[in-house]
Amino acid sequence: MSKVVKVIEVLAQSEKSWEDAAANAVKAASKSVKGIKGINITNMSAKVDGDKIVKYRINAKISFLIK
């Protein structure tokens, strides 16, 4: 029997890095979605204040198995 995967799109941010924003996305999604198998970052952006990045933002697709 083949497995079926569902994909949701999420937005997340971090004050540290894009990697931390991705970790935040997975952590938040795992509160309501079980069986997460992967994350695909589709876009990265940042909020700048003066000459410093203050927020790292990502758009991501999170995939998980349907039971």
Q: Residue 15 and residue 26: Cα distance in Å, rounded? A: 16
The domain locations on the chain are 5-65
49-59 per-position pLDDT tens digit: 999 999 999 99
Contacts of 31 (CB under 8 A, 6+ apart): none
In terms of DSSP bridges, do strands 36-49 and 5-14 run parallel, antiparallel, or are they unpaired? unpaired
**pLDDT score recorded for residue 67:** 81
- Beta-bridge partners for 43: 59
18-39 per-position pLDDT tens digit: 999 999 999 999 999 999 999 9
Mean pLDDT (the chain) is 95
Written out in words, the top-level CATH class of the domain with range 5-65 is alpha beta
Of the two residues 43 and 67, the one the predictor is more confident about is 43
